[in-house]
């Protein structure tokens, strides 16, 4: 089933418009200015909620990357589709700044021997982990509007299959794992906030007894 779904997404359900869109959604460098801008906006203009969100997000991302994603990749050592077979790949032209690549011609090619050593193991998907964590914390902190980020997370996860970087099962199981890690980390951070903020920052704690205000 994994192979069948992968071939449908990577080989058949494709189009020139989707090629550029999926490659752009999967390229973190393109979105860095937007992410930095949003982070600064939250820190400066959104008060305690914005700062609490950024703090919890950064802690959760660091913990998931250093303790979970790297450990599982090394332990499971699953090969990516492009490391086991020829797959259809979209190659964007490198530009500076990165978003200018959207206005350049992209290239479609099949993976070859050189692609077997360019990336690490397949499971879990780092892109999916990061974006599901962001989506989960957005939903917890910003409720109705926060849930919209799950659309972005789903598209990014799909793009990883479309581009030949991950198997469908990688993305699906990673999404559930990342959501669970996010909830556990938020529960832990809430406990730590209540345990230490009451003693160290009593005035702040009196106004904000919970991180999820």
* Region of residue 86 (phi > 0: left; psi between -120 and 50: alpha; otherwise: beta): beta
CATH number assigned to the domain comprising residue 141: 1.20.144
CA distances from 210 to 51, 135, 187, 204 (A): 13, 20, 11, 10
- Number of domains into which the chain is organized: 1
Residue 130's domain spans which residues? 2-207
Cα-Cα end-to-end distance for the chain: 43
Whether residue 173 lies inside any domain: the answer is yes
Strand, coil or helix: what is 91? strand
Query: pLDDT, tens digit, for every residue of 44-85?
Result: 999 999 999 999 999 999 999 999 999 999 999 999 999 999
Whether residue 98 lies inside any domain: the answer is yes
Q: Is 18 exposed, middle or buried (0-12, 13-18, 19+ CB in 10 A)?
A: middle
Residue 162 is predicted with a pLDDT of 98
Q: Give the integer Cα–Cα distance in Å for 63 and 135.
A: 16
Residue 112 is predicted with a pLDDT of 87
Long-range CB contacts for residues 12-18, cutoff 8 Å, separation at least 24: 13/162, 14/88, 14/162, 18/162
Whether residue 212 lies inside any domain: the answer is no
Query: pLDDT, tens digit, for every residue of 89-140?
Result: 999 999 989 989 989 999 999 998 888 888 889 999 999 999 999 999 999 9
Strand, coil or helix: what is 209? coil
* pTM, rounded to two decimals: 0.95
């Amino acid at each position: 089933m994994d192979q069948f779904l992968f071939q449908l997404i990577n080989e058949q359900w494709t189009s020139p418009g989707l090629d550029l869109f999926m490659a752009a959604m999967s390229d973190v460098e393109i979105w860095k200015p937007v992410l930095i801008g949003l982070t600064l906006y939250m820190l400066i203009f959104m008060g305690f909620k914005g700062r609490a969100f950024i703090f919890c997000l950064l802690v959760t991302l660091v913990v998931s990357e250093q303790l979970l994603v790297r450990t599982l990749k090394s332990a499971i050592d699953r090969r990516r589709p492009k490391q086991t077979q020829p797959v259809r790949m979209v190659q964007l032209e490198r530009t500076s700044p990165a978003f200018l690549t959207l206005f350049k011609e992209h290239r479609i090619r099949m993976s070859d021997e050189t692609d077997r050593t360019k990336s690490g193991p397949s499971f879990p998907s780092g892109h999916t982990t990061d974006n599901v964590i962001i989506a989960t914390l957005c939903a917890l902190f910003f409720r109705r509007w926060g849930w919209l980020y799950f659309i972005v997370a789903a598209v990014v996860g799909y793009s990883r299959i479309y581009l030949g970087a991950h198997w469908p099962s990688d993305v699906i199981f990673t999404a559930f794992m990342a959501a669970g890690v996010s909830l556990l980390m938020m529960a832990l951070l809430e406990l730590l906030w209540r345990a230490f903020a009451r003693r160290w920052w009593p005035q702040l704690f009196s106004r904000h007894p919970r991180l999820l205000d």
